[in-house]
Structure 1
Amino acid sequence: MAVTSPTFRLRAPWRGVVAVLAAALLAAAPAGARAQPKPTVKQLKKELATLQKESDKLITDYYNSRIAHQKAEKAEKSAREKLTAAQEIYDENSTELRAMAIAQYTGTEPSQVAMLTGPQDPSALLGRMALVQHLVALQDARLRGFAKVRDDRQQAQDEAAARAGDLDRTVGELESRKKKAERQIERIRDKIDQLYKAPGLRPDGTFVPQLPQGADHITPRMALVKQLIQERFEVPYGIGCYRAIQDGGEHPLGRACDFMLSRGGAMPTAEELKRGDEIANWAIKNAKRLGIMYVIYRQRIWHVSSGAWRTMSDRGGTTANHYDHPHISVY
């Protein structure tokens, strides 16, 4: 009969203690040290619903800001028009006052002193006095009228400045709320992307090879990437995938697509280049989940195994160097 060794008898009681200690240590480990479970489709949909509700509120705020901005634009335009009209009246009255002052200074208008020191016929003197009073009253009226014109112009200036300030404020608010809504929409897009899983994913993270299918002769995995990019970005110059030329790449295998940013080999605009960057960055962000193997763009290649961009040799042209399109290959 086999005899249990003394060593075994001494160590066996400690097995339970070790197990308990291990469980306690695992429970005490910080949350970051344990792998977080991947969210289920149900959880993702619940989070998506919350994000969409918040998005609706942000879009409503943005809409209200647009209305306020439009009202501010109209008020500012009206204030500018009023100021222009007030300035014209002010300039006209200023010219008249200057002409009156010059006339009095140079004596081209009847001198009030001369009228009073002329012939002393009583009736004539009374008539001259009445005329002087009339001229004085006329001048007073002109001065009072000019004062009102001046005050109206100042009021129009103040109103125009206030309306311009309101317009600047609404522009700032509109831009701020627009950015908030855009960020929220981007979060929704990311959450929607997570609802899709690349077909053929093994438990160990590798991908089962697939055959091309459908009218465009690409694999289901490539078709999913193509669909998501089409839904998320504008690709106005077309998407080229399968081609029969055996060049050592994935195009003949139905595992690659080119997302064109321009036509005929022309260098894309700055805006289109930015869109190409966005497509490439999206592909990198979702590479492991969607089975994307590498991305080529602007004479650089990014491979999932290295996780970094590497410069490629010059192939001699805009298209050959992938400046007019990001190229995406899947496993």
Structure 2
Amino acid sequence: MIVRPPARRMVAVFLALAAAAAGLTGAPATAAPGGATAVLRAAPGDIDEGGTAKLREQLNAASKGFVAAKAALAASTKRQKELDAHLKKVEVELAARTQTVGQVADRAYRTGRLGPVAALLDGGSGDDLLGRAAALSAVAANEDSKLRALLDTRDQERRAKVAVAKEIAEQKKQLAVMAKRKEQAENALAAAGGGQQVSGVGGGSASAAPARRNADGSWPPESCNVDDPTTSGCLTPRTLHALNQAKAAGFTRFVACFRNDGGPGEHPLGRACDFAAQPGGFGGVATGGDRTYGNNLAAYFVNNADRLGVLYVIWFRQIWLPSSGWRAYNNGNGDPSSDHTNHVHLSMN
């Protein structure tokens, strides 16, 4: 069983010990930009990450719904392509079989209905008569099979067209869901005083190893059942995969994921991590190389969102949503943690 001590208590003890140590040694506290005191290696959510419970619930629901609809759309589009290819093949077969049956019908018309009977009665011995009868029977069976094949191919064409139409209707449905979820997310941000379109961060490309999906392309539900290497808590396997992929890509600075503070969001569910921009932990506003590190890390998660199962990314008063791209996130309190100017927040599906 994974032991999950209350994060706030741990941080309080840590700060008390740090303060005592500073008093004994006379060493000053680390100064953050703007005169604030940096709290290194304290999970930012233990201070205040900004945003209301209602906002986070709306963003989570909107992003999850959008991602699910996007996966359903992709699966339907793939099925339609397969059906279109099958339909083209059936149409080629139908044309060939229609021509064959047409030739059979033409011969029957030219020889007349009594043609086979006349052939049977056209002299010869009894053995010849039986031989010709058997041959005509084989010809009739062959022509009958061609006609049946034509009818079967026509039925295949009809069913394929119905299936294609069904997939097109499914795609329209999922596009409508995606539009609705996009509107939900943007309305939630606007109600909180943000949501304006911003440039965000860019650069880089998709390079992460894909996380496991269901056969239909959707994300399987996961529970918080693997050890979190950054705390004494737990993570979902998909979140751990994203964390490990980021480390493998060179983003190895301090990270804190699980947080059992009873608050809203993905941290208590093992589906979120906070990546410090500074090497030592969560300090003041990131500048210079630390800002670049945060920019690159945020871009990495955005570029690999489909591969990893990213729900949203928050960095430097901006939020990236799968439905809307980068938007203003003005829900902080003016400090580096709630403004997300000292860490990149990652929420996972």
TM-score band, normalised by the shorter chain? Answer: 0.3 to 0.5
Select the structure with the greater relative contact order (CA < 8 A; seq sep ≥ 6): 2
Q: Which has the higher helix share?
A: 1
Q: Which has the larger radius of gyration?
A: 1
Give the TM-score of the pair, scaled to structure 2: 0.40
